[in-house]
Amino acid sequence: MSNDIRVRYAPSPTGLLHIGNARTALFNYLYARHHDGQFIIRIEDTDRKRHVEDGERSQLENLRWLGMDWDESPETHENYRQSERLELYQKYIQQLLNEGKAYKSYVTEEELKAERERQEKAGETPRYINEFLGMSEDEKAAYITEREAAGIIPTVRLAVNETAIYKWTDMVKGDIEFEGGNIGGDWVIQKKDGFPTYNFAVVVDDHDMKISHVIRGDDHIANTPKQLMVYEALGWTAPEFGHMTLIINSETGKKLSKRDTNTLQFIEDYRRKGYLPEAVFNFIALLGWNPGGEDEIFSREELINLFDEHRLSKSPAAFDQKKLDWMSNDYIKNADFDKVFALCQPFLEEAGRLTDKAAKLVELYKPQLTAADEIVPLTDLFFSDFPALTDAEKEVMAGETVPTVLEAFKAKLEAMSDEDFQPDNIFPQIKAVQKETGIKGKNLFMPIRIAVSGEMHGPELPNTIYLLGRDKSIEHIDNMLQSL
Report strand pairing: 213-217 vs 240-244. parallel
**What's the confidence (pLDDT) of residue 1?**
43
pLDDT, tens digit only, all 484 positions of the chain = 445 999 999 999 888 899 999 999 999 999 999 999 999 999 998 776 776 777 888 899 999 999 999 999 999 999 999 999 999 999 999 999 999 999 999 999 999 999 999 999 999 989 999 999 999 999 999 999 999 999 999 999 999 999 999 999 999 999 999 999 999 999 999 999 999 999 999 999 999 999 999 999 999 999 999 999 999 999 999 999 999 999 998 888 888 877 777 778 899 999 999 999 999 999 999 999 999 889 999 999 999 999 999 999 999 999 999 999 999 999 999 999 999 999 999 999 999 999 988 999 999 999 999 999 999 999 998 888 888 999 999 999 999 999 999 999 999 999 999 899 999 999 999 999 999 999 999 999 999 999 999 999 888 899 999 999 999 999 999 999 999 8
Backbone φ and ψ of 84, nearest 5°: -95, 5
Q: Cα dihedral angle (307, 313, 316, 319), rounded to 10 degrees?
A: -30
Residue 116 near residue 126, CB atoms below 8 Å: yes
**Helix-, strand-, coil-residue percentages of the chain, each rounded to 5:** 50, 10, 35
Calpha distance 338→358 (Å, rounded)? 12
For the chain, the domains span: 385-483
Backbone φ and ψ of 53, nearest 5°: -55, -45
The alpha carbon dihedral of 203, 204, 207, 213 has a sign of: negative
DSSP 373: G
CA distances from 476 to 30, 281, 317, 390, 473 (A): 55, 44, 50, 16, 5
Q: Count of H helices and E strands in the chain? A: 20, 11
Paired strand residues for 2: none
Calpha distance 359→338 (Å, rounded)? 9
- What is 385-483's CATH topology? Arc Repressor Mutant, subunit A (1.10.10)
Paired strand residues for 11: none
Paired strand residues for 176: 168
Spatial CB neighbours of 116, under 8 Å, sequence gap ≥ 6: 126
Calpha distance 352→371 (Å, rounded)? 19
Report the first-to-last Cα separation within the chain, whole angstroms: 75
Spatial CB neighbours of 67, under 8 Å, sequence gap ≥ 6: 277, 278, 281, 300
Residue 346 near residue 373, CB atoms below 8 Å: no
pLDDT single digits (tens) 323-352 = 999 999 999 999 999 999 999 999 999 999
Residue 89 near residue 201, CB atoms below 8 Å: yes
Residues marked active site are found at 258
Verdict on whether the full-model pTM lies above 0.85? yes
Q: In terms of Cα–Cα distance, which of 479, 483, 390, 401 is closest to 439?
A: 401
Paired strand residues for 40: 8, 72
Calpha distance 383→375 (Å, rounded)? 12
